[in-house]
Amino acid sequence: MEGCAKTCESRRIDRFLGWGSRVWPYMWFVWVAVLSLLPSWKREFHTKGPLHVPGHALIFAVSAVVACRSAQSVFQRVIRCAAVIGFGCGLEALQSWIFRSRFEWDDVVTDACGVLLFLLVTTVVDSMRKNRYPTPEPGDDLVTKVAGFSQRQPDLSLAAKSRREAGGAVERRTGAHDPVL
């Protein structure tokens, strides 16, 4: 019984702190907020250096990854990315209020560019993956798929027209229905 209790407890801890946990995204955003609002951190790391713009873009691209890791559709991804951009705007507003400085629109634009770059790359990769491995329809074979025909599309070739005409003649003579149509 004691072994089971230890196993169950370790599973709970793994579920709480594991990669599938819902805690990590919140911890990421709290970390970003705290670091962006600490005045000592800003002075110590000289946040207005040559890595300022790439750092903003990278942090917010990673934030978009964190926010969109469980998104099921492009629409959900867009909504979550908009929320990350809103988070960046809120942080900039807090910084200008706390530090009595001007609102840094260039930082907001850089944050948004990082998020939109993530969204663009993810959408392109997803569409390439879907086009590379299309889901086959029942009854489709590779030749008709590559040729651009599907069983749902009518075959308008001359041979099909002549078969229909011949089938129509048979139907008129025998009264039977043509299964091709």
Counting the structural domains of the chain, the total is: 2
Residues 74, 28, single domain; the answer is yes
Distance CA 65, CA 71 (A): 10
40 or 110: which carries more pLDDT confidence? 110
Segment 152-181, tens digit of pLDDT: 555 556 666 666 666 655 445 555 555 554
C-alpha distance from residue 145 to each of 32, 80, 86, 118, 121 (Å) = 48, 36, 44, 32, 27
Residues 155, 87, single domain; the answer is no
Residues 94, 37, single domain; the answer is yes
Closest to 84 (Cα-Cα) out of 123, 57, 54, 49 = 57
pLDDT given at position 110: 96
Segment 30-84, tens digit of pLDDT: 999 998 888 766 666 556 778 888 999 999 999 999 999 888 898 999 999 999 9
Residue 12 has pLDDT above 70, yes or no: no
Measured from the Cβ of residue 134, the count of other Cβ atoms closer than 10 Å reads 9
Distance CA 163, CA 178 (A): 10
Please state, for a pLDDT cut of 90, what percent of the chain lies above it: 36
Average pLDDT over residues 143-158: 56
Q: Which domain holds residue 159?
A: 142-174
Residues 23, 60, single domain; the answer is yes
Average pLDDT over residues 19-29: 80
Average pLDDT over residues 113-133: 89
Residues 80, 110, single domain; the answer is yes
Query: 177 exposed, middle or buried (CB, 10 Å; 0-12, 13-18, 19+)?
Result: exposed
Q: Which of 40-44, 87-91, 129-133 has the highest mean pLDDT?
A: 87-91
pLDDT given at position 122: 93
Residues 72, 156, single domain; the answer is no
Give the CA angle between residues 121, 123, 124 to the nearest 5°.
Answer: 65
pLDDT band at 138 (very low <50, low <70, confident <90, very high): low
54 in a domain, yes or no?
yes
24 in a domain, yes or no?
yes
Picking from 59-68, 126-135, 138-147, which range would have the lowest pLDDT averaged per residue? 138-147
180 in a domain, yes or no?
no
